[in-house]
Structures are given as C-alpha cells and as structure tokens.
Structure 1
Amino acid sequence: MADSTSPPPQQQSPQTNPDNVKELKDMKKFERWRKSLQYMTGLGMSEVEQNQFRKDLDKELESYQCHQCEVWRDNLMKNSPSVRFMVEHLGMIGREIKRDDFLCAPCDITRSGGFSPEDGILLCQNRMNSKTHQEHTMVHEMVHLYDHQRFKVDWFNLRHHACSEVRAASLSGDCNWSREIQRGFYTFTKQHQTCVKRRAILSVMENPNCKSKEEAERAVASVFDSCFADTRPFDEIY
C-alpha cells in the first residue's frame, strides 16, 4: 500500500525569504549611508578604509557609466534617425555595423570618442554629457568609418585626416548651435564653419605625424572647402 503521508512543506532559506531579502537590502543601504557619512566627515574611518571606499565608489561609477553608455547605444541604434541612416549607408558600401562595433570604455578628458581601423569605434563612457551628446559622437565616428571604408583614408597623412575630421565635425551635429553655446562659443557669423575648423584642427593636432598647431591649421585649410562641401552619404548638413 502506498504511503499516504504528505511530504513536509518546503522551507525557504533565509536568503530567499522575501522578508529577509528586503531586510538585507535595507541593511546594505544603511551601511552604505553610514560609510558615506564617515567618508565625508573623516570621522570613524581610517585612511586605509577611506582609500578602499574611494576605490569602491570609482568602481561603482565606472560600472554605472558603462551600463548607461550601452543602454544609450542600443536605443540610438534602434531609434535615432541619424545613427540608423549611417548604419544603413555603411551597409550599402559593404560594412555591416552592429552593436559590438561600439565599445564603451573610460577615456581621458581630451576626447568623447574615437575610431580605429583595427579596433572599431570607441565611446567614452565617462565623457558623455547626455544621450544627444552620445548620438553626435556615434555619428561622428561612423563618418570616419564611412570614409575609411569608401575612400581608403591614410590616417597618417595629415590632409586625409583633416578631410575626414572636417566632414565628421560638420555632419555629426557636433557643431550645431546648442552644442557651441554649451562650450561657450557665441559666434554669430559662420558659426558652423568656425566650429568645424576649430574641432578639426584639435583632432589633427593629435595625429602622431603632426608637429605643431600651425601644421594642423595648414592641413585643415588646404582641404576645408572641398571636404566641407562633401556631405556624403547625407544629402545636406542636418
């Protein structure tokens, strides 16, 4: 005859009990608040503990910035008209681009993004002021990728580099009026052209073959008119 004894009800472990989980979260929040207060006041925390707490904060901030950058990247690839336009036109010239072509990583204060033929597109997660800023950065770097794919740019040639920088600054939204106001530039005549030249010169100055600001200025000046007029793959500057 079968055993009619019912099995005992399963017991929840302390870790999975909803009440205990909430209590643990509340304790962690309180401990975090307590350590933050100690860190700000310097009371009750040794120098070693302060250094460790600072490292923990930096690690949490870096993790948050990376997550935010990746969320914005994925959203912009789905919903941004300019990003989607560049993705489509890169595909037309044989360069399919996916989310993994954009790497979110921390950078120094001199840049918000970068392009490397070998490594793809870098998005500086700690330099993005807003989702719109990241959108402009993604389009900027995709213009470089477009130029590299279509025109076989020699990035160590200052004139080649200057031309792509002029196009990227002009077509990406980097130099629209609101961005220039945020940077503290208030030019009322030829504002867009002035911004494009300035930003192209700053980028060319970073080229290892560039010896001086004057050399960067000459490279940009020599190609500016023709490269500024070349809006491919866009029909016009948006």
Structure 2
Amino acid sequence: MSDKPTSSSPTEPPEQSAAFEKWRSGLAQFTGLGLSESEKAERERLKAQGKLEKDWDKCEGWKRQLMDYSPMITFLLNHLKLAGCAFPSSALQCHPCPENRAGGFSPDHGILLCQDRFFNKKHMEDTLAHELIHAFDHCRFKVDWGNLRHHACSEIRAANLSGDCRFTREVKRGFYAFNKQHQACVKRRAILSVLANPACTSPEMAEKAVNEVWESCFTDTRPFDEIY
C-alpha cells in the first residue's frame, strides 16, 4: 500500500512575505492598530515632528513673501532701517508656541512668529506688523519695557496701527459692536498685554497704565501718516 502524500501549508516566497509585512506595517502605522506601546510612541513622535516641519516651512515661506511683497511689512522694515535698526530675515524666527499667543518681540532676540498659531497669511501679516511696531518703538524711543506706561504706549500703538483690531478680526474674536469698536479693541488688547508684564501685579494696574497714556499714544501714528 503506497503512502499518501502528507499535506503542508504552501510556503510564501521571501519577497512576497516581505511585501506583505511592509504592507501590514504601513497599515498599522496609518491606523495605529496592532502597534506596540513603543511603536505607538514612535508613531506619535514622527507625526509631531512632521507637523513641526510642515508648520515651519509654511511660516518661513509666508515670512519671505511678506518681507518682499507686503506694503505694510516692507514699509515698517524700511523705517526700521532708516532709524538705524535694520531687521534681517534671521531676526524673525518661526517657532511653535503656546495657544495664547501668535508672536512676540524681544530687544535681545528679535521677533518670534508662532508657526502653529496663524489662521492664514493675513493673520501672520498683522502679527508681524504688530511686533515690528514694537521694534520701531524700541529703536526710536528707547522703550523701558519694565515701565508699565512705556509698555502700555507701545501696546496701544501696535494694536492701533497693525491691523490687529480691524473689524473682521474682532468678529472672529466674538466682538460685534459697531460704535467705537476699534478703540475698545485697542484698549482691551493693550491692557491684556500689559497685564502679562512681570512688573504688573493686577488688572487694575494694567488698566491704569493704559488709561494714563491713552490720549497721546492712540493719536501717535508714527511712522505712518494715519491708521493703516
């Protein structure tokens, strides 16, 4: 009696097995299913790194376009240069930021652009204009940022002149008043900025500083002839 052939599972060629494993691994990375804890952590790290790089590339691209083509930004950069405080591209740094800010100015480090906080290029333009006005004030008027009246004046001017308080921006923030909305926005945002100053210990102190310099600083449109 002849022996019957024993059955066995067919063996996949190595190249098919490798292709399947590559497909399975790619699907797991895409869905997050079937990954070990360490693989999940690595997946999240790579996603975060990819987002950081994408945000940075977009921020840098918008920055170059604004420095070259925005009438507002080129005007401010030119006046900073005329005042002896030229701002090269390297002084405008794109970085990720906390949720409650879009930019910042430091006399020692230049201007921060929060790469992950801009709704669009126009938002970035307004933010950059705001910070360049601070830079202009620091250059021309030797602002003492620890002096709340000095700080309040520059915040009033920056909010007033940069486009930060235009009507469409206020609507997005949930403010709909038509009567003197611009002035209300400038004052509100100046108070919030002064309140973040380490030398300010209360909302009342911030409001007092803004009120004390309001008339002279709100009407000061330098280097513009009028509100942009």
TM-score > 0.5 by shorter chain: yes
How many Å separate the matches in 1 of 2:122 and 2:174? Answer: 18
Does residue 1:98 correspond to 2:102, yes or no?
A: no
Aligned to 1:46: 36
CA offset at residue 30 of structure 1?
9.2
Does residue 1:63 correspond to 2:53, yes or no?
A: yes
Query: Counterpart of 2:105 in 1: which secondary structure?
Result: strand
Please list, as runs of the form range in 1=range in 2, the aligned pairs for 1:1-238 lying within 5 A after superposition. Answer: 34-37=28-31, 39=32, 43-238=33-228
2:73, 2:128 within 8 Å by CA — same for their partners in 1? yes
Q: TM-score, normalised by structure 1?
A: 0.84
Percent identical across equivalent pairs?
Answer: 52
Counterpart of 2:225, as a letter, is: D
Query: Counterpart of 1:192 in 2: which secondary structure?
Result: helix
CA offset at residue 93 of structure 1?
0.8
CA deviation string 1:73-129 (max 9, x = no partner): 000011100000001111111111211110001111121100010001110111111
CA deviation string 1:1-48 (max 9, x = no partner): xxxxxxxxxxxxxxxxxxxxxxxxxxx9996554121x2xxx311222
Counterpart of 2:66, as a letter, is: L
How many Å separate the matches in 1 of 2:34 and 2:76? Answer: 55
How many Å separate the matches in 2 of 1:113 and 1:29? Answer: 42
Q: 1:219 to 1:50 in 2, by over 3 A?
A: same
Q: 1:149 to 1:46 in 2, by over 3 A?
A: same
How many Å separate the matches in 2 of 1:31 and 1:204? Answer: 52
Query: Counterpart of 2:65 in 1: which secondary structure?
Result: helix
Counterpart of 1:83, as a letter, is: I
| Runs of at least 5 residues in structure 1 that lack an aligned partner in the other structure | 1-27
How many Å separate the matches in 2 of 1:98 and 1:33? Answer: 45
The CA RMSD over aligned residues, in Å, is 1.7
Aligned to 1:16: none
Query: Counterpart of 1:122 in 2: which secondary structure?
Result: strand
How many Å separate the matches in 1 of 2:152 and 2:185? Answer: 14
How many Å separate the matches in 2 of 1:183 and 1:98? Answer: 32
Runs of 4+ in 1 over 4 A off after TM superposition: 28-34
Q: TM-score, normalised by structure 2?
A: 0.87
CA offset at residue 55 of structure 1?
1.1
CA offset at residue 155 of structure 1?
0.1
How many Å separate the matches in 1 of 2:68 and 2:214? Answer: 33
Aligned to 1:14: none
- Rg comparison, structure with higher value: 2
Question: Bigger CA drift: 114-123 or 92-101?
Answer: 92-101
Query: Counterpart of 1:210 in 2: which secondary structure?
Result: coil
Counterpart of 1:118, as a letter, is: D
2:77, 2:86 within 8 Å by CA — same for their partners in 1? yes
| Total equivalences in the alignment | 208
CA deviation string 1:158-191 (max 9, x = no partner): 0000000000001000000111111111111101
